[in-house]
Amino acid sequence: MKAEELYEIIRIEVEKQVEQKLKSGGYVKSWIAIISSVSSGVAAVTLIGDNTNIIPNLKNKTNTTLNIGDVVYLHSTTSQLSNSYIAIKK
């Protein structure tokens, strides 16, 4: 077995273990996003670097007013973007 093959096997195994640990909870995964629309305590955002996909209906837990164009941090304790919320307004 070549060193490159061994490295790839180890890298894949480590990624699997890290992903399992993140999914088990207790860790917060974060994303940076820009507010694209706001309505009644929820907002739609686009992730920094991805201006094509809009993530709708995220709860605003910042206790501040959000405006279109604001930069925010999304958090998720399940490491799933679909289960995230707006945690911090930058």
User: What is the per-residue pLDDT across 32-57, written as a single tens digit (0 to 9) for each?
Assistant: 999 999 998 899 999 999 888 999 99
In a domain, 74, yes or no: yes
pLDDT at 77: 84
In a domain, 13, yes or no: no
In a domain, 2, yes or no: no
In a domain, 6, yes or no: no
pLDDT at 25: 67
12-16, 43-47, 78-82: segment of lowest average pLDDT: 78-82
In a domain, 7, yes or no: no
Give CA–CA dist 5/2, Å, rounded: 5
pTM: 0.72
In a domain, 47, yes or no: yes
* Domain boundaries, position 74: 29-89
Total count of domains within the chain:
1
Residue the block writes with tokens 């925010």:
72
What CATH number is associated with residue 79?
2.40.50.140
**9 or 26: whose pLDDT is higher?**
9
pLDDT at 24: 74
pLDDT at 1: 78
In a domain, 71, yes or no: yes
- Percent of the chain residues topping a pLDDT of 70: 98
Give CA–CA dist 68/45, Å, rounded: 9
In a domain, 60, yes or no: yes
